[in-house]
Amino acid sequence: MPKQHVIDVTAAIERARFGRFQFMITALCALIALLDGFDTQAIAYVAPVIAEHWGMSVAGFGPIFGAGLAGLTVGAFILSPAADRFGRKSVILLSMLIFGVFSLVTAWAGSMNELLVYRFLTGVGLGGAMPNIIALTSEYAPTRLRATLVTVMFCGFPFGSTVGGVISAPLIAAYGWPSVFIVGGVAPLAVLLVLVVWLPESVRYLVASGAPAARIDGILRRLDPERAAPATAETIYALNEPKASGFTVVQLFQEGRARTTLLLWAAFFMNLLVMYFLVNWLPSLLRSSGMPIQTAILSTAVLNLGGVVGAVCLGRMIDHMNPHLVLGSAYAASALFIVGVAYGAHDLWLLMPAIFLAGFGVVGAQIGMNALAAGIYPTAIRSTGVGWALGVGRIGSIIGPVAGGALLGAGWSAQGVILAAVAPALLASVAVFTLRRRGDAGEPIRASATLAH
C-alpha cells in the first residue's frame, strides 16, 4: 500500500505567495464587477432619452428601475445556492450569459412592458454574478489579504458605473440609446469567452465536491509554483471545514449560525437601504434645497468616490484589525456625516466633504461587508451565504428609494428626508457590533485520488 500524503488545501493557500495566478483571478473578477456595474446603471443613463423618444414622463420609469432591482434580488437568491452545488465558475458563466444576452435584447425593446421584462431578466444575471465573484476571490485569498482583495475587486462595480456615465453620453449622441445596451451586451459575451479559458474553478469548492485529486493538484501548482507535487504517493486533499447536507439555505441557520446570519442580513438590509436612498434621492433633495443642478448631480459622483476610497482603506483595516469594530465604527460615523449633509446643504465647503465621508462609510463599508460575509461561512455554503445576504440587502435597496418618495409625499422637508437615513445607518452599526464569529465544528472534507506515476 502506498503511503498516503494528506495536504490541507487551506494551509496551502495560506502559505502561497501572492503571485500572477491570484492576481489573474482577482483581475478577472474585477472585470466582471465592472461589467456588472455598467449594466446595472445603464437604464439610468438612457431613461431620459427613451422617455423623450417615446413621449412619456421620466417618472414612468419607476417600475423599470424596480424591475431591475427585483431581478438582482431573485438572481442572488436563486443562483448563489446553485453555485454551492454546481460550482462558482459554472454559475458565473451562466450569469454572464444571461445578463449579456438580455442587455443586448433590450436594445430592440419597443414598449415599456418589453423594457420591464428585459431589465428584470438582465437583473437576474447581474444578481447571480456578484456573490460568486466575491466567493471565488475570497476562496483564493489568504486570510491576511482576503478583505483587501475582495474590496479592491469589488471596486470594479462603482468604476463600471462611472465608465458607463462617461461613455453613455457620446454613444447616445452618435448612435442613439440602443447603443448603450449593445455595448452592455456585447462586452460580457466577449469576456465570457475569456472566462471559459482563463477563470479557474474554486479549488476549495473542488475539494468540497470531491473532484479528482489530479485536477486539484494542477491548480495548487499554479497557485504555488514552488510547491513540489507528490508524483507517486496516493494524495488526499483535506479541507478542514464542515460538510453541507441538504438544502444549503437551511444550513445558514444550523450549527450555531442562525444568530450570525440574521444579524448579517440586518446589516446588509439597513446599509443597502441607506445607500440606494442616498444614490437615488440626494441630487433631487439638494436641488430642492437650492443647490445648482450641476452641484446636485456631482454629489452622487462624490458619494461613490468616497465609497471607492473607503473600500480600499477599510479593506486594509479589516485585514489587520477586528472587522466588526472597523465596519461598525464606519456605519456609526456615516450616520454622523449624513447629519452633516443635511445641515450643510447651503455650504459647499461643508457639504462635499460630508458627502465624501458619508460615501466612505456607507458605500465603503458595504463593500467591506461583502468580504466579512465571505469569511463567515464555510466553503460548502459560502456562495449561498453571500448571495442571500446580498438578496436581503437588495430588498432594502428597493425599499429605500420608495421610502424617500413616501416621505416627500407626506410633506417632509429635504433636510428631514436626509436625516431619516441616520436611523438605518445606526441600526447597521448595532448589527455589526453585535456580530460574533463562531467556529463551526464539522467533519473535515477530503478528496482523494491516486496520481499517475
pLDDT value for 279:
77
- Of 63, 23, 35, 27, the C-alpha closest to 47 is 63
Q: What is the pLDDT of residue 392?
A: 95
Q: What is the pLDDT of residue 345?
A: 74
| Model pLDDT, residue 447 | 46
pLDDT reported for residue 6:
75
Domains observed in the chain: 9-205 (1.20.1250.20), 248-434 (1.20.1250.20)
- Which stretch of DSSP H or E encloses residue 143? none
Burial grade of 222 (CB within 10 A; 0-12, 13-18, 19 or more): middle
Q: Which DSSP string do the residues of 2-23 spell out, in sequence order?
A: PPEEEEEHHHHHHHSPP-HHHH
**Cα angle 284-288-289, degrees, rounded to a multiple of 5:** 120
State which H helix or E strand residue 109 sits in: none
pTM over 0.75: yes
Q: Look at the block and give the residue holding cell 470531491.
A: 210
Is-contact 41 72, C-beta < 8 A? no
pLDDT in tens, 260-315: 999 999 999 999 999 888 877 777 777 777 777 567 767 777 888 888 899 889 99
Q: What is the pLDDT of residue 245?
A: 55
Residue where the block lists cell 486533499:
237
Burial 369-401 (b: 16+ CB within 10 A, else e): bbbbbbbbbbbbbbbbbbbbbbbbbbbbbbbbb
pLDDT digits 0-9 by tens, 346-356: 777 888 999 99
Q: With a cut of 50, which residues of the chain have pLDDT below it?
A: 1, 231-232, 438-453
pLDDT of 52? 84
Nearest by Cα to 382 from 91, 153, 159: 91
Measuring CA to CA, which residue among 395, 386, 300, 401 is closest to residue 341? 300
